[in-house]
Structure 1
Amino acid sequence: MGSSEADETLESYGADIGQRTDSATRVKEWILVDGDRLFIASLISLVVFLLFLSLNEIGFISFTNDDSITRLAGGMIAGTFSLVTLVVSINQLILSQEFASAGDARDQLEGVLNFRTNVAEAANVPASPASPSRLLELLVESNRSYARELAEAVSDYDDPETRELIVRYANTVEENADRVDETLEHTKFGTFKSVSAAIGYDAAWQLYIARNLHGRYEESLSDEALTKLDALINSLELFVTTREHFKTTYLQKELTRFSQLTIYTGVPAILSAMMIGFIYADLTGPTISAVYLPVVISALVAVVVLPLALLTGFILRTATVTRRTASVGPMLPQKDPDAGPFDVTDDTVDSGASNSNTNSNSG
C-alpha cells in the first residue's frame, strides 16, 4: 500500500476544533469558539457604537428627527422585553432537565457508577478520577496505551500492507492522544478549552477505522492483536460516551450562564432604550446639546444591543460545537457516501473481496 493510499485510509472526517492553518482561520476560530463570549458581546456592542458615530459623521444618518428616534426607542424596548422573555423560557427548559423523582435519580446514579466502573476496568486503575478533565485524560492515555500495544502485536504479521496500515493507524491514535493529553493537563473542566480539546480528539473516526479493521482481518490477526484491538475499541467507545456527557453538561452550564448575563444586561438595555425616549420627549427637541447628542445616543444604542450581542456570541459557539460533533460514535455525517476506504458493502464478506475493495476505494 502506497503512502498516499495509507494517508487516505487514515483521513479524518470528524471534528476540526483546534486546527489552525492561517491567520484568517485563527480569527474565525476565535470568533466562533475560542474567544470569551462576554468579550465577544462587548466587542459587538463597541462596533455598533463606532458604526453609529461614523455614519453620523459622514452624514449618512442623523439624530435630530424626534419621531424616528422615539419610534426606534419603542421598538428597542419591545424587542429587549421579548429577548429577555425568550431567554427566561430557555432557562426554565434547562432547569426542567434537572428535576427527577427519587427512582429516576437512583437509576441515574447507578448508571454513572456502572459507567465509572467500566472506565476503571478499561484503564486498569483501581478507580476512575472524579475530575471530568482527569477522566478524559485517563481515557486518552488508555487509547494511547492500547494503540501502542496493537502496533507491537502486529509486528510479525505476514501481510506487509496490512501490517503497515494497522501500524500507521496505531501511530495516528498515539499522536492524537499526545496532542489532546498535553492540552487537558493544563485545563480544568468548566473552561471551554477542555471541552474543545475533547471535541478535537477525533474518536469517532478512530472508532470507525478500528471496527472496520476488526471486521476485515479478524480471521487472520493473532489472538493477541485481536485482544488489543477489542480493548482499543472499548476504550474509544467509553471516551465518546464520556465526551458526549461532559459536552452536554458544559452546554447546559453555558446556556445557564447566557441566561444570567442576559438578565444582567437586559435591565440596563431597557433603561437605556427608555432614556432615549425621554431625551426626545421634550416638545422643544432633544434635551441634550446637538454636539453631544450623537455620542450619547450611540452609547445608549450600544447598551441596548448588548443582550442581542450576547445571544449572537453564545449561539455562534453552541451551534458550532453542535454541528462539529453531530456524529455519535462511528456514524459520520461529514463523510461523503463515496469516500473510501472502508465502505461496508455486501461484497466485502470474504477476505479477498475485502482487500480488493480496499485497494480500489483507496485509489
Structure 2
Amino acid sequence: MSVGSDESDVDESDDTTNIDVDESNVDTDVDVSTANTMRDRAGESRIKIRLLLATNRLVVTGVLAVLVFVAFVAAVTLLPPPLVPQLTSGDTIETMFSTMLSAVITGVTLVVTIGQLVLSQENGPLGEQRGRMENAMDFRDYAEELIGAPSPSDPSAFLRELVDVAEKRAKAVRDGFSGIESEQLQWEVQEFTDSVVGNSETVRDQLDGATFGTFDVLFAALNYNYGWKIFQVERLAYDHDEDLGDRERELLDDLKTALSLFGPAREHVKTLYFEWALVTLSQMILYAAIPALVVSAVMLTVVDAGTASGTLFGVSHMTLLVGGAFTVTLIPFLLFTSYVLRIVTIAKRTLAIEPLILRDSQR
C-alpha cells in the first residue's frame, strides 16, 4: 500500500460534497460515528476528567493539602470526645512526627529510585542508541511521505499534520463515494466522514499553540479516537465489498494508512510525556521534602503541650499548629498522588494501540 497520494486523493480545498440520501431507505441504526471528546466517550463527569487529567498538578496537590488540613482539624475538634487533650499530653506529637520523618525519608528515596529507573531507559551502549535513532528517522521518513513535507520537530505540530492528512483523506473518501449507487453505503460514509472531519477540527484547534512539557499536547491527542475510525474503515470495506470499486478501496486504504500512523505517533508522545512527568515529579518531591523534614524536626524538638495556647474561632491553636505541620509533611506524598493519578489514568485509557475498544461506554 502506498503511503503517499496524488492531488486527486487529497482535496486541498474546503469545499464539501453533500450526499443526498433518502434516509427512509437506509438503516440509520448502524453506529458509524462517535463522540469527539474523551469525556463524552468515557461517559464520566467533566469535573472528574478535569481533576484527573486537565488540572495543573500543583493545583491538585494544593486542593488535596487543604482537604487534609480541614479534615484533620474537623476530626480533632468535633469527634466525641474531643481529641485536643491527646495532642497536648503524652508523646502524641513525638510519635506522629517521628513517624512522618521516617516516612518522608523513605518516600523520597523511593521516588528518586523511580526517577533513576526512568532515566536508565535513556542510557545504553552506542549500538542501541544508533538503533533508536534509525528507528526514529525511519518513522519520520514514513511520516514525511504521508504528509508531503518534512516532519515538524515540534510534537504538537507533528500530530497536527497527521490529523490534517487524515481529515483531507476523509474528505476525499466522502467526495469519491458520492457516485456510489448504494444509499446505505452513501449514508454511512457521510456520517463517518463528518465524524472524522469534526473530530479532526476539534483536535487541531486544541493542538494549536500547545507546548510539550505541559499536558495540553497529550490531552488533545487523547481526544482523537483513531482506533474506532480504523475499525469503521475496515467495516465499510468488508460490509460493502460488492459495492466498492478499485478506486473506492484505494481511498479507504489511504485513510486507514493516515489513521494508523497517528497511533504510534501518539504513543511516542505519550512515552516522552511519562518520562518528562516522572522526572519532574522526582524534582518536585525533592524540593518539597526539605521543608517537610524541617517541619518534622521542629515539631519533634521545639513543640510541646504548652507551645500554642488559646483558641481561634473555637478551634485550639495547638490543633491548627499540628494540623498545618502534618499537612506540610504530607506534601511529598500528595505530589506523588496527583502525578500518579494522571499517569495511571492515561495508561488505562491507552492500553490498546490497535482498534480494540476496552471501555464499555465506547462500545
- Normalised by the length of structure 1, the TM-score is 0.84
Q: Is the 8 A contact 2:210 2:217 kept in 1?
A: yes
Q: Is the 8 A contact 2:26 2:187 kept in 1?
A: no
Residue type matched to 2:348 in 1?
R
Q: Is 2:101 the counterpart of 1:80?
A: no
Which residue of 169, 176, 201 maps to 2:199? 176
Residue type matched to 1:39 in 2?
V
SS at match of 2:45: helix
Partner in structure 1 of residue 294 of structure 2: 271
Which residue of 316, 323, 342 maps to 2:341? 316
Q: Is the 8 A contact 1:122 1:231 kept in 2?
A: no
Q: Measure the CA separation in 1 of the matches of 2:121 and 2:137.
A: 20
SS at match of 1:207: helix
CA 1:99–1:218: 2 relative to 1, 3 Å: farther
Q: Is the 8 A contact 2:54 2:215 kept in 1?
A: yes
Which residue of 67, 70, 79 maps to 2:91? 67
Gaps of 5+ in 2: 1-24, 312-316
CA 1:314–1:336: 2 relative to 1, 3 Å: closer
TM-fit CA distance, 1:138: 0.3
TM-fit CA distance, 1:280: 4.4
Q: Is the 8 A contact 1:70 1:280 kept in 2?
A: no
Deviates more, 1:225-234 or 1:138-147: 225-234
Gaps of 5+ in 1: 340-363
Q: Measure the CA separation in 2 of the matches of 1:226 and 1:276.
A: 73
SS at match of 2:344: helix
Q: Measure the CA separation in 1 of the matches of 2:283 and 2:360.
A: 38
Q: Is 2:129 the counterpart of 1:109?
A: no
Which residue of 175, 192, 203 maps to 2:226? 203
Partner in structure 1 of residue 66 of structure 2: 46
TM-fit CA distance, 1:4: 4.5
TM-fit CA distance, 1:223: 2.0
SS at match of 1:263: helix
Q: Measure the CA separation in 1 of the matches of 2:27 and 2:238.
A: 23
TM-fit CA distance, 1:332: 2.3
Q: Is the 8 A contact 2:289 2:332 kept in 1?
A: yes
Partner in structure 2 of residue 223 of structure 1: 246
Q: Is the 8 A contact 1:88 1:259 kept in 2?
A: yes
Deviations along 1:263-282, one digit per CA (max 9) or x if unpaired, are 1111211221222222346x
TM-fit CA distance, 1:186: 2.9
Partner in structure 2 of residue 329 of structure 1: 354
Q: Measure the CA separation in 1 of the matches of 2:49 and 2:296.
A: 33
TM-fit CA distance, 1:49: 2.1
Q: Is 2:252 the counterpart of 1:232?
A: no
TM-fit CA distance, 1:226: 1.5
SS at match of 1:100: coil
CA 1:322–1:302: 2 relative to 1, 3 Å: same
Partner in structure 2 of residue 300 of structure 1: 325
CA 1:52–1:84: 2 relative to 1, 3 Å: same
> What aligned pairs does 1:139-178 form with structure 2 within 5 A after superposition?
139-178=162-201
- Normalised by the length of structure 2, the TM-score is 0.84
Partner in structure 1 of residue 214 of structure 2: 191
SS at match of 1:333: coil
Q: Is 2:38 the counterpart of 1:17?
A: yes
CA 1:10–1:113: 2 relative to 1, 3 Å: same
Q: Measure the CA separation in 2 of the matches of 1:119 and 1:335.
A: 33
CA 1:238–1:322: 2 relative to 1, 3 Å: same
TM-fit CA distance, 1:164: 1.2
CA 1:273–1:20: 2 relative to 1, 3 Å: farther
Name the Cα RMSD after superposition: 2.4
SS at match of 2:91: helix
Size of the alignment, in residue pairs?
330
Q: Is the 8 A contact 2:226 2:263 kept in 1?
A: yes
Q: Measure the CA separation in 1 of the matches of 2:37 and 2:74.
A: 38
Deviates more, 1:140-149 or 1:211-220: 211-220
Q: Measure the CA separation in 2 of the matches of 1:335 and 1:277.
A: 51
Q: Is 2:296 the counterpart of 1:259?
A: no
Deviations along 1:29-61, one digit per CA (max 9) or x if unpaired, are 221111111111122112222333333443642
Residue type matched to 2:38 in 1?
I
